[in-house]
Amino acid sequence: MRWRVWFDRLLVLLILLAAWQGGSLWLGNYWLSAPWSVATRFFAALFNGEMVFHAGYTISEALAGSVIGGVPAVLLPFLLRRQPIVVAILDPFMVGGYGAPKLAFAPLFILWFGIGIESKIALVAAVVFFIVYFSTLSGVRALEPKLVQMAQVIGASERQVGRHIVFPGAVPAIFAGFRIAVPYAIGGAVIAELISSNRGLGYLVQTGAMNFDTTQVFVAILAATIIVHAFIAVIDLGERFLLRWRPRGAVLIADHGT
Amino acid sequence: MAGTPMLEIKNLGKRFPARAGREPPPWIIQDMSFEVAAGELLTIVGPSGAGKSTLLNIIAQIETASAGEIVFDGEHIASPEQKALHPGLNRRIGYVTQDDNLLPWRTTIDNVLFPLEVQGTLDDAARARAQELIGAVGLAGFERYYPHELSGGMRKRAALIRTLVYDPPMILMDEPFAAVDAQTRTQLQEDLLRLWSLKRKTIIFVTHDITEAIALGDRALVLTQRPARIAAEHPIPIPRPRQVKDIFTMPGFAAIYAGIRADVQ
Ligand SMILES: Nc1ncnc2c1ncn2[C@@H]1O[C@H](COP(=O)(O)OP(=O)(O)OP(=O)(O)O)[C@@H](O)[C@H]1O
Ligand SMILES: [Mg+2]
């Protein structure tokens, strides 16, 4: 079963690479770089430290932004659990924040926070915040009232209910939120770098395009994709550990979401 | 059985709030009155949907009453206001609900210890008591299992001892042995009677099994269907200690059984 999946994945990868190679031969390496050139350049950049230099920058932005945006996004629904009116008042603004094309704010953030790392972190934080907020909120709302009643009968305080019932119950939703947010976090960082930066994967894309070096553009995109995969793998690992109480079937179904 | 009752239900009524697009809500419980003496084991029999769980929810203070009064140990506790309720009455009323309501992220032992953890009374003696209860209901060896890895009957047993472990003076039980095979049930009933004879808790035990109601109870109440009222009250003068598995052979059993049977529609 597992074997079969890996084999088929490899097959799909080969087909994609073949199509890419075919397209490159047809259009010319100038327009569409070839897989082989990308791979060579990728490993060269990996070994000469260039990749670590740029990707490390992008990863730091994504991590810092995810923490700064994600932590309040997780805490807020818990703090507001007993304040449904406040949640209702905030709702249209939150939906607005969620729906607004935040990448379009990138130039503004650069104006406000400068061309350094701060503006990129701010953009990632804004993107991550709304995704994680709504996911956590849905987890807090899906709470089983009978479990809360059971705890209250036993004598649990409001705080204990939050800690022992609401929080563990919302953990799956929190993980789901972060997992959805990962590509947006990396994407946000890359876009912000594209606009103005002298470092990072976005900078590689930008200079590559300027020099008509499609290989470099693809190398940067490949790196970003690998980073997203790695982030999600780490999240999955944490989830598997924290949610080991769940029936195996449920974990498998959740896995299909990745 | 003399003296002031532990619990008094007076003209209790319950209807759930109306919902748009539905006819006015029916009375689920209407004009229900009964008393429970301290140390009594009262059984309540009634058909499915009669309102037995609703009654226990109201006594446990997780559901409001629409009419009438409840007096617990001299204290008036019924209220139509959700905010005025004190679930579990400050740990004096334990409630073994119809659903097990185990926390899915806690193992058997951690579920059983949950009340002690919340109440801040978790020490080695308490752990030992929990372990003893786990053994008594046949869950030894399953301490580290999560609820989804237990059978329905095992989950109910875990939920039962989760309430017993913190020793509330009054315990409400909603069909705690319904999902258990006949042999285990007899065993659990005997265990319950033994524990009760030692500690003399006040217990309200809901069931729709007439034999169980007779085997356990000092007295059995029969509820009517919709709205729930007390259809009849049957004293059960079978002497204790009782042998649950031989309860059929006790003098008087057949007559009480026939009486209750006739009152349950
Ligand atoms: N939250 C609720 N809102 C509206 N109606 C309810 C609610 N809870 C219970 N009822 C109604 O109250 C009635 C009694 O329900 P209850 O659960 O108390 O029955 P029961 O005697 O415990 O039945 P069973 O033996 O099947 O457990 C049912 O008709 C049910 O539809
Ligand atoms: Mg019921």
Q: Where along chain A do its domains lie?
A: 49-257
ipTM of predicted assembly, 2 dp: 0.88
Give me the sheet containing B75-76, strands edge to edge.
Answer: B29-36, B7-14, B67-72, B75-76
Position A205 scores a pLDDT of 93
Q: Do B101 and A150 touch (CB under 8 A)?
A: yes
Query: The tokens of B141 are what?
Result: 């060896």
Phi-psi region of A28 (alpha: psi -120 to 50; beta: other; left: phi over 0): left
Q: What residues of B are in the A interface, CB distance below 8 Å?
A: 60-62, 87-88, 90-91, 93-95, 97, 99, 101, 103-107, 114-115, 118-119, 146, 148, 166
Interatomic CA distance for residues B32 and B232, integer angstroms: 11
Q: Is A155 on the interface with B (CB under 8 A)?
A: yes
Pairing type for strands B170-174 and B202-207 reads parallel
A interface test, pick of B92, B118, B167 with most A CB neighbours within 10 Å: B118
**Residue A147 with chain B: CB contacts under 8 Å:** 101, 103
Q: Please say whether the beta carbons of B27 and B13 come within 8 A.
A: yes
Find the helix packing angle between A201-210 and A167-195, rounded to 10°.
30
pLDDT over 90 at B247, yes or no: no
Instruction: Give the closest residue to B14 by CA, choosing from B54, B72, B56, B42.
Output: B54
Pick from A146, A155, A247: which is nearest to B119 by CB?
A155
A interface test, pick of B57, B99, B101, B170 with most A CB neighbours within 10 Å: B101
Residue ID of nearest Cα to ligand 1 atom 16? B51
The per-residue pLDDT for range B101-123, each reduced to its tens digit, is 999 999 999 999 999 999 988 88
The per-residue pLDDT for range B154-207, each reduced to its tens digit, is 898 899 999 999 989 999 999 988 877 888 888 888 888 888 888 888 999 999
Q: Please say whether the beta carbons of A129 and B80 come within 8 A.
A: no
Average pLDDT over residues B232-243: 84
What is the B155 CA–ligand 1 centroid distance (Å)?
22
Beta bridge partners of B230: B223
Q: Please say whether the beta carbons of B174 and B96 come within 8 A.
A: yes
| Residue A58, number of CB atoms within 10 A of its CB | 28
Position A52 scores a pLDDT of 92
Position A249 scores a pLDDT of 60
Residue ID of nearest Cα to ligand 1 atom 17? B53
The per-residue pLDDT for range B76-103, each reduced to its tens digit, is 877 777 787 888 788 899 999 988 999 9
Interatomic CA distance for residues B179 and B176, integer angstroms: 8
Position A82 scores a pLDDT of 84
Q: Please say whether the beta carbons of B180 and B219 come within 8 A.
A: no
What is the B51 CA–ligand 1 centroid distance (Å)?
5
Sequential pLDDT tens for chain A (258 residues): 678 888 999 999 999 999 988 888 888 877 888 888 889 999 998 899 889 999 999 999 999 999 999 999 999 999 888 888 998 999 999 999 898 888 888 888 888 998 889 999 999 999 999 999 999 999 998 888 999 999 999 999 988 999 999 999 999 999 999 999 999 999 999 999 998 888 999 999 999 999 988 899 999 999 999 999 999 999 999 988 888 888 766 544 444 433
pLDDT over 80 at B265, yes or no: no
Residue with tokens 């689920």: B28
Position B3 scores a pLDDT of 62
**Residue B54 with chain A: CB contacts under 8 Å:** none
Q: Which CATH class is domain A49-257?
A: mainly alpha
Residue A16, C-beta contacts closer than 8 angstroms, at least 6 positions apart = none
Q: Write a three-state SS string for A212-227.
A: CCHHHHHHHHHHHHHH
Cα A179 from chain centre: 6
Helix (H, G, I), strand (E, B) or coil at B94: strand
Residue ID of nearest Cα to ligand 1 atom 30? B49
Cis-peptide, bond into residue B169, ω within 30° of zero: no
Interatomic CA distance for residues B136 and A31, integer angstroms: 76
Q: What is the band of B73 on the pLDDT scale with cuts at 50, 70, 90?
A: confident
The per-residue pLDDT for range B199-232, each reduced to its tens digit, is 888 999 999 888 899 989 889 999 888 788 887 8
B48 lines ligand 1 (CB under 6 A): yes
Average pLDDT over residues B127-155: 89
HSE-up (13 A, CA, CB side) for residue A114 = 3
